[in-house]
């Protein structure tokens, strides 16, 4: 019985590999455009160093920082189902205050304004 299951698995894997190979061959044989390099919408033969908005980069970095901090708040949902102690509540409030202080500081510095005034 075990040998039958192993042989069936091997045959199934070989059939899937064959199907994927044939599908790949058929899809790439018709279009020469699919064989060209893809550079995220940029022409690969154009100027390599194009101007990049520093404000966009700063906004992305701030988004990633606050996104990670929000992800750190997900375990708090689990704490709400159990009994919250004073230590847990105070640690949560301190963490939220640091998060809010950072956001207000970036807002005051003008990092969150997309257009310069």
Residues 30-62: tens digit of each pLDDT: 566 666 666 565 565 666 666 667 777 777 888
Compute the distance between CA of residue 70 and CA of residue 64 in angstroms, rounded to an integer: 10
Percent of the chain predicted with pLDDT > 70: 74
Structural domain of 15 = 1-50
Q: Do the domain assignments include residue 9?
A: yes
Q: Answer yes or no: do 74 and 39 share one domain.
A: no
Q: What is the pLDDT of residue 95?
A: 84
Q: Are the CB atoms for 114 and 55 separated by under 8 Å?
A: yes
- Same domain? For 62 and 23 the reply is no
Residues 87 and 44 in one domain: no
Instruction: Tell me, yes or no, whether 72 and 98 share the same domain.
Output: yes
Q: Which of 7-21, 44-58, 82-96 has the highest mean pLDDT?
A: 7-21
Q: How many domains does the chain have?
A: 2
Mean pLDDT across the chain: 78
Q: For residue 87, is it within any domain?
A: yes
34 is a domain residue:
yes
Res 9: pLDDT = 93
Distance CA 105, CA 110 (A): 9
Domain boundary among 30, 50, 70: 50
What global pTM score does this model have?
0.45
Q: Do 93 and 76 touch, CB atoms closer than 8 A?
A: no
């Amino acid at each position: 019985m075990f040998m039958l299951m192993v042989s069936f698995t091997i045959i199934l894997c070989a059939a899937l590999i064959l199907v994927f190979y044939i599908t790949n061959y058929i899809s790439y044989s018709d279009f020469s455009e699919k064989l060209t390099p893809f550079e995220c919408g940029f022409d690969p033969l154009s100027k390599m160093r194009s101007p990049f908005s520093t404000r966009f980069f700063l906004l992305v970095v701030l988004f990633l920082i606050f996104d990670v901090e929000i992800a750190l708040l997900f375990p708090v949902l689990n704490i709400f189902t159990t009994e919250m102690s004073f230590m847990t509540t105070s640690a949560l409030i301190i963490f939220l205050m640091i998060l809010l202080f950072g956001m207000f500081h970036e807002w005051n510095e003008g990092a969150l304004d997309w257009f310069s005034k």
